[in-house]
Structure 1
């Protein structure tokens, strides 16, 4: 495969490098755990800095397409089995559809420095504070989900908004930011002491862990959300329809 970057293109170099890497990892030569070319060699071949190349690699590591181990190298990650739904709802909408009245047990808003994963998703530095919202929610009897959301500074949130309102409704009406695309990852994990305390379960109990990446109409990242659900309280349903051949 020919590796080249157009240095005269208006597309940023790290975006071009990321697109190139996405094509490169499809090559059968790099399946089965074979290492990619090392960063020094690849950066030199593309005539870009290692910092620019590393930014592209970090994005693919974040997307779980690559695995990088210090002192070992970078290789293509083994594909995970995932289910994708064609439509998505906010938590409030999900619960309303099930006839459940949502109760907010806790709501905390703060300004924090993002970790590398969040910063990479938002394509910002780890030295820029962003708004973090934590919500413990459930029904009238007990809490069953703990959410943590981070928002891109581009939205313009102040922290003074009424976060008790439906989130995406508030973002649209007060900040002209419309959630248009959601990408989700769901896995089973054991609750650590902190999460177990929030959900009122034993530490080490199984919980459903959902990561949600939300984009606006321009497919720009706007929210990074993680949720911990009591396993017995949440079912992830996927509806698929067969498309007949024409």
Structure 2
């Protein structure tokens, strides 16, 4: 794509630069995650001031078309993922229904002693080890959610299961536990050092935090799940219907 503007035009420079950027970010390489040229280089190429260029970039950042990251640069913002709280599915099933291919960036299994809150939810003692599953997940370009799941011992998980499969589908097919009810708490918080590192965001950035309590068909607790979502990549929607 030809990158230039008309300095003889009556159209203000910042508008021309803005329109040029709108066309530039449609190019396949930028849609695929390539960083835009740095501001100094781009301003020099267009023969405009950095203030003019920044004005145009800020407009697209405000419209959530671009993301500017300190020390990294500016790139095209990916469409925000959406999760509905009604008729919930496993995360993999939910994303596949939206045509989004999910990638596991990290997957860790360990056996831990539950803290008092988790033990109280499962109604077990704190000296009884349970399975902890950690998964860093996202699309093919970047991670955008970090999940930590704890499972009730009665499920009988061994750690040899294929956790790359949709979770609730696997639990039903291999262990005959059907996830039927989900109760959730959603809040916002800032990313600590660990979460910031995993989600590739700045320390202290806003994230969406979701705590999910999952029950089986007999309404017995089966999973205690914590989800840390990259705020710039995810929207959590709630659908409610009033019944007579």
Alignment partners' CA distance in 2, 1:167 and 1:199: 21
Q: Runs of 5+ in structure 1 lacking a partner?
A: 1-83
Alignment partners' CA distance in 2, 1:121 and 1:241: 28
Alignment partners' CA distance in 1, 2:215 and 2:187: 21
How does the TM-score come out when normalised to structure 2? 0.64
Report the count of equivalent residues. 161
1:174 equivalent in alignment to 2:181? no
Q: Runs of 5+ in structure 2 lacking a partner?
A: 1-83
Q: Which residue is equivalent to 2:184?
A: 184
Q: Which residue is equivalent to 1:155?
A: 155
Alignment partners' CA distance in 1, 2:241 and 2:154: 37
Q: Which residue is equivalent to 1:141?
A: 141
Alignment partners' CA distance in 2, 1:167 and 1:85: 17
CA distances 1:159-183 after superposition (whole Å, capped 9, x unpaired): 1111111111111111111100000
CA distances 1:91-135 after superposition (whole Å, capped 9, x unpaired): 112211221100000000010000111101000010000000000
Alignment partners' CA distance in 1, 2:85 and 2:238: 5
Alignment partners' CA distance in 1, 2:93 and 2:162: 18
- List structure 1 runs of 4+ shifted beyond 3 angstroms: none
CA distances 1:193-237 after superposition (whole Å, capped 9, x unpaired): 001000000111000000000000110000000000000111111
Alignment partners' CA distance in 2, 1:151 and 1:174: 15
Alignment partners' CA distance in 1, 2:192 and 2:217: 36
Q: How does 1:2-41 map to 2 (within 5 A)?
A: none
SS in 2 for 1:228: strand
1:116 equivalent in alignment to 2:116? yes
Q: Which has the higher contact order (CA 8 A, sep 6+)?
A: 2
Alignment partners' CA distance in 1, 2:237 and 2:157: 32
Alignment partners' CA distance in 1, 2:157 and 2:151: 8
Alignment partners' CA distance in 1, 2:241 and 2:170: 33
Alignment partners' CA distance in 2, 1:241 and 1:227: 25
SS in 1 for 2:235: coil
How does the TM-score come out when normalised to structure 1? 0.64
Larger Rg: 2
Alignment partners' CA distance in 1, 2:166 and 2:186: 23
